[in-house]
Amino acid sequence: MRSTKSIATLAAGAVLAATALVAVAGPASAADEGAKIPGNSLWFSTVGPLSAQSAATQVTSGSNAVNRPFVGQTTDVACPAGTLQMDSAVRVPQAGVPEDQWIQIPVTSSTVLQDAAGRFYTDNDMNGQVDRLDKVDILAYQVAHPGANQYPYITVCRDADAISLGYFRNLLTITGSTSATLAWSIDSPAVTGGTPQQVATTTTLSAAGAGADLALSAGVTPAGAAGQVTFKEGGTTLGTVAVAGGTATWTVTAPTMGN
């Protein structure tokens, strides 16, 4: 997958209305879903298109691990032309493996409903065991990596043959290691009156030595802005991190001497 962001570029795209999908069990798998689409997934506590949602219905955090973390979902921009269905999954990190080959755990099955702007959304509340976040792979990763961990949450646009035409990517932060202690948050932009609230931002990059490592820090103003920062070295993506409290950080382990 290609990254289209420059070094320390804040992804300040807006997130949209919720999609409630029919729960159909499926195995975890790895898949290259093609190119990332500039945009976001939005979660809500009710079903319906974005026009029916507001800040009061938007969901950005929670602790219910045994049901789907949202009731409805949508995206802030439409899928590419030719898309006939949309589904979502959580990617579980695997050391030394490219992200597009990480295990993908379905969080919803496909939806085919679209609003007037062409955005897909769910229309029924189908919480089920297939949609929960306390899946075996996630809990195993949480046990092996205590504390807060970030998981790419992808929403994939598919054609009539279920081939991906691109995907939206947000970061899901999870803490805890059991169904009872799991808590989560997603870096979706705020929605006001059925419209994603876009905020102009300024991003400043700094770097400092941390022993043999190099600590990169991207300061984003205003501090309340939500989004992601992608750190790059030339054409190589180092990592993408959600902005928290106006800051996103990335550590380069033992870099070699150079410019």
Percent of the chain with pLDDT over 90: 40
Q: What is the four-CA torsion angle of 135, 138, 140, 145, rounded to 10 degrees? A: -160
Measured from the Cβ of residue 150, the count of other Cβ atoms closer than 10 Å reads 15
Least confident of 102-111, 136-145, 159-168, 223-232: 223-232
- pLDDT confidence band for 19 (50 / 70 / 90): very low
Q: How far apart are CA 175 and CA 245, in angstroms?
A: 18
Q: How far apart are CA 31 and CA 34, in angstroms?
A: 9
Q: Left, alpha or beta for 129 (phi > 0: left; psi -120 to 50: alpha)?
A: alpha
Q: What is the per-residue DSSP string for 147-166?
A: S-EEEEEEEEEE-TTS-EEE
pLDDT in tens, 23-70: 333 445 556 788 899 889 999 999 889 999 998 999 999 998 888 888
Mean pLDDT, residues 151-177 taken together: 94
**What is the DSSP secondary structure assignment for residue 131, as one 8-state letter?**
G
Determine the distance from the C-alpha atom of residue 235 to the mean position of all C-alpha atoms in its chain, rounded to a whole number.
Answer: 22
Closest CA to 232 of 205, 210, 213, 199: 205
H helix and E strand count, the chain:
1, 17
Instruction: Classify residue 257 by burial, with Cβ atoms within 10 Å: 0-12, 13-18, 19+.
Output: exposed
Asked if residue 231 has pLDDT above 90, the reply is no
- pLDDT confidence band for 226 (50 / 70 / 90): low
Q: What is the largest CA-CA distance in the chain?
A: 56
